[in-house]
Amino acid sequence: MPENLPIPTDLAVYTQWCGILTLVLLASTILAFLFKWGLRFRLFGATAFATVVTIGFFGLNLGLFTRVAIPGVVRYTLVFDNAADNVVIALPPETTRSQVEATLRQAAIDISPFGRMGTQEGIVTIRARTVIHPRPGVSVPLYLGQTQKPANSRDPEALAVELFPQNWQRLSSVNT
């Protein structure tokens, strides 16, 4: 096999080829039933399976991989998610205010809305925190900001980001 063989990563290509294969199998199956070939039932099974695979690729192609990317985001870790209305992400202590705001927006978009309908007010709160070490052997979580979003939305415009200025002062005093 050649080393530089390009393999398409676009699901539309796979959907198209599966559709073509399904149509060829369907035509073969119709011919097999018309001429009473012995393998007509096997062709029917292969056609049914190819149809299911084609429908699956088509469904995946509809938008499973759409992702909104907000500039200025830093890598975050999901540290708590009660699968309803409360999510906490962790950020490095050297993160700037603009990076925290962008990361909160990105996390709010990334948090799946499915299964979060059971919230009291229909609002999901995402908080960003870091861990500071005021003295050796002591670790303190410090919340830098939060955003709230409707539980069933991924709209970046529906987000209100709130930063906590008193915690930023505390963070800057520990980092210096």
Cβ–Cβ under 8 Å, residues 116 and 152: yes
Does a structural domain hold residue 155?
Answer: yes
Question: What integer is the mean pLDDT of 68-95?
Answer: 91
**Comparing 85 with 50, which gets the higher pLDDT?**
50
Does a structural domain hold residue 134?
Answer: yes
Among the residue ranges 44-53, 107-116, 126-135, 165-174, the one predicted with the least confidence is: 107-116
Write the Ramachandran bin of 25: left for phi over 0, alpha for psi from -120 to 50, otherwise beta: alpha
**Comparing 125 with 112, which gets the higher pLDDT?**
125
Does a structural domain hold residue 27?
Answer: yes
Confidence of residue 175 (pLDDT cuts 50, 70, 90): low
172 token code pair: 């800057």
Question: What integer is the mean pLDDT of 96-121?
Answer: 82
Q: Are residues 26 and 81 in the same domain?
A: no
Number of structural domains (the chain) is 2
Cα separation, 48 vs 105, whole angstroms: 44
C-alpha count within 13 angstroms, C-beta hemisphere, residue 117: 2
Does a structural domain hold residue 3?
Answer: no
* pTM listed for this prediction: 0.63
Q: Are residues 103 and 160 in the same domain?
A: yes
Q: Are residues 131 and 50 in the same domain?
A: no
Q: Are residues 169 and 103 in the same domain?
A: yes
Cβ–Cβ under 8 Å, residues 87 and 81: yes
Mean pLDDT score of the chain:
87
Instruction: Give the range of the structural domain holding residue 52, as residue numbers without chain letter.
Output: 11-61
Residue partners of 124: CB distance under 8 A and separation at least 6 = 84, 85, 86, 87, 108, 111, 116, 148, 149, 150, 151
